[in-house]
Amino acid sequence: MNAMLILSTSLSAVFMNKLRTALTLLGIIIGVSSVITLMAIGRGSQDSITDTIQSLGTNLLFVSPSLTADGSTNSFTLEDVIALENQAVAPDVKSVAAETSVFGSLVAGRNQTSAQIVGVTSNYTDVRDYELAEGRLFNPADVIIGTDVVILGSELAPTLFGNVSAVGQIVKINGRPFTVIGVFEPKGGFGLENDRAMMPITTAVTRLGDGGVGIDTGVTQISVQAIDTENIDAASEQIRLALILENESGFDPENSGFNITNQADAVETLEDTNQTFVVFLGAIAGISLVVGGIGIMNIMLVSVTERTREIGIQRAIGATKKVILSQFVTEATILSIGGGLIGVVAGTTISYLVDGASIGSLEMNTNFAPDIAVLSLAVSAVIGLGAGIYPAIRAASLDPIEALRHE
């Protein structure tokens, strides 16, 4: 019996019972489409989060106080910011910006809300890549004088003023009136930046806080922009050295009392974590493929029982064990590859359909990967082949005489 005859015989056997074949295919279809869809969703989520962090700038370093060796907490001032701007000590530092934050109550007419109020230096918006939707940014004079002005986040402005332009309006923060001079464009990140207000750091300290003024103005975090991504490690060491020199009596080199967070490292760590998550999703979906393979084996075993007399007739007219084995393995392979192909089409279609769809406040992002589709199809073929081997061996091992007697 040649290969074409084996293939045609196998196809005839597969389509002899259409309902049973369809139900058998369903297991493989669900398995393959699940793997493709979940992997696409996982990769899309990974890309989205990575892009969000990278949009903040991979050449950024964040410096914040931490516990010292004696258990006390350090604090930064604008004097530390000035020290980091010293090119003689930190030549790989391009720009330095500082911030301090408090929570406050904001009132505009009948609208009221609570939000984070961030006091910043004049170059903060450049370092952190903020863009205006309307109005103007802070200038050095606003920071030096401590003017009562504020810029609202893209979500905070409509909360307070609805559809009316917020620029030029008055908003009371903790009971004090401030003039809105601008509204930011929606910011990436994780959405927190869009729901806060920003004002000069000196204004925040003198109007809303109780910190010092001038170079003694308190700072909760310093954002440092390195010259480029390649110089980020050098800039980090220069920052450490500059702060230790500036605070030689307070910062211990072994336990300096401050943390330097590398944005590029955060991206790499997150990518590794997300990759593990994506593989985990694929593994869960892969269980469906195994279940589909078990379904194929079950149907093939039933087929062997039903066709015992047929097998006996084939053996009686000269079919060898190899022919019987090949026939049943081919049937299993047809089922697995057929289901796999349909599953690839279904998974690809679902991946594109759910891309950009919203589930509540969550937007789904998918990234279809052809390599996953090919891998899923190959795995389904291997599983089908493996599932068909035992029933095929059982069929080929039947005694021809006993098979012919089977009712």
Could you say which DSSP state residue 257 is in? S
Averaged pLDDT score across all residues of the chain = 78
More confident residue, 188 or 407: 188
**Please, are residues 210 and 204 in contact by the beta-carbon 8 Å criterion?**
no
The three-point CA angle 282-288-293 to 5° equals 125
User: Hey, where are the domains in the chain?
Assistant: 3-53+268-405, 67-256
| Separation of alpha carbons 305 and 395, rounded Å | 8
In sequence order, which residues have a C-beta less than 8 Å from that of residue 23 and are 6 or more positions away? 295
High-pLDDT (> 70) share of the chain, %: 74
Q: Does residue 53 surpass a pLDDT of 70?
A: no
**Please, are residues 223 and 74 in contact by the beta-carbon 8 Å criterion?**
no
Is the Cα dihedral 369, 371, 372, 376 positive or negative?
Answer: positive
Q: Does residue 342 surpass a pLDDT of 90?
A: no
Q: Does residue 157 surpass a pLDDT of 60?
A: yes
Q: Does residue 55 surpass a pLDDT of 70?
A: no
**Please, are residues 95 and 239 in contact by the beta-carbon 8 Å criterion?**
no
| Tens-place pLDDT, residues 160-187 | 999 899 999 999 999 999 999 999 998 7
Bridge partner residues of 116 (DSSP): 103, 196
In this prediction, residue 7 has a pLDDT band, given cuts at 50, 70 and 90, of low
| Separation of alpha carbons 395 and 325, rounded Å | 7
| Tens-place pLDDT, residues 76-123 | 888 888 888 888 888 888 889 999 988 889 999 889 999 999 999 988
Is the Cα dihedral 2, 7, 12, 13 positive or negative?
Answer: positive
High-pLDDT (> 90) share of the chain, %: 15
Could you say which DSSP state residue 192 is in? G
In sequence order, which residues have a C-beta less than 8 Å from that of residue 194 and are 6 or more positions away? 153, 154, 155, 156, 184, 186, 187
In this prediction, residue 197 has a pLDDT band, given cuts at 50, 70 and 90, of very high
Within 13 Å and on the Cβ side, how many CA atoms surround 18? 0
State mean pLDDT over 365-378. Answer: 78
**Please, are residues 200 and 123 in contact by the beta-carbon 8 Å criterion?**
no
